Amino acid sequence: MSPHADPRLIVALDLPTRAKAEALVERLGDAVCFYKIGLQLLASDGMGLARELKAGGKHVFLDWKLHDIGATVERAAAAIAETGVGDLLTVHAEPQVLASAVKGAGGSGLRILGVTVLTSLSAADLREIGYELSPRELVERRVRQAADAGAAGVVASPHEASLARRIGGPGFLAVTPGVRPAGSAPDDQARVATPEFALAEGATHLVVGRPVTGAPHPRAAAEAIVREMASAAARAA
């Protein structure tokens, strides 16, 4: 692994085509070692890109948020695990879905993450959907369900990372989207935070998209985030 890369930083390849994603990976070089492939690229040969990244020594986060009946999720997780191209896979953090995904992944290296509450959703959004719980209350319930199902961790906003780690324990993953370097625009995220805040709250991985992918100089942007993470760790020590 390159000394420039920090495996806690996951760059989201939220781009329209595999070719554009490959070009960005080339520009980032050894500054990044972990990438997220989401639904947009899933429809544009996301599995092929995942294979390419793994062959190049990178880690791959398959952020596909599986959500279906248990038998279907189990078979899908098993099929993905068999390919060997993913390190992390997201499913919706509901008990049946979580348990089925964990069973499907079996003893492979594919680790299951439960998606708690999307970082684009506010308390008002949850009320409109029909939830009476606050975002934090709903996250807490889903973290407990993920831990009970044997999932490796959860996806939650930086504001709930400490809650996830407290419930899940020291080895439980708290993967936090909605991370924006100081001074960045929140875009369409409702619950955002800086890398320093997320790490201080217990995040194990930071998912960063547009501050890197939309930057004029993506490698420099990624390196700046890594430096911010290192500075946060030094201040916490």
User: pLDDT by residue (tens digit) across 37-68?
Assistant: 999 999 889 999 999 999 999 999 999 999 99
CA atoms within 13 A on the CB side of 145: 20
User: What pLDDT is stored for residue 180 in this prediction?
Assistant: 83
Angle at the Cα of 29 from the Cα atoms of 35 and 57, rounded to 5 degrees: 55
| pTM: predicted TM-score of the whole model, two decimal places | 0.91
Q: Which of 20, 54, 58, 65 is catalytic?
A: 65
DSSP per-residue letters across 154-192? EE--GGGHHHHHHHH-TT-EEEE--B--TT---TT-SS-
Long-range contacts of 181-189 (CB under 8 A, 24+ apart): 181/208, 181/211, 181/221, 181/224, 181/225, 181/228, 182/228, 184/211, 188/120, 189/119, 189/120
User: pLDDT by residue (tens digit) across 109-168?
Assistant: 999 999 998 878 889 999 999 988 888 899 999 999 999 999 999 999 898 999 999 999
For 142, the token pair is: 């889903």
Evaluate whether 69 touches 91 at the Cβ level (below 8 Å): no
Consecutive H or E run containing 61: strand 59-66
Query: Shortest CA distance to 155 belongs to which of 180, 177, 186, 123?
Result: 177
Determine the Cα–Cα distance for residues 52 and 68; give it in Å rounded to an integer. Answer: 28
The answer to whether 36 is a known catalytic residue is: no
The SS3 assignment for 217 reads coil
User: What pLDDT is stored for residue 237 in this prediction?
Assistant: 54
Q: What domains can be seen in the chain, in order of their start residue?
A: 9-236 (3.20.20.70)
For 5, the token pair is: 């890369």
Confidence class for position 1, pLDDT limits 50, 70, 90: very low
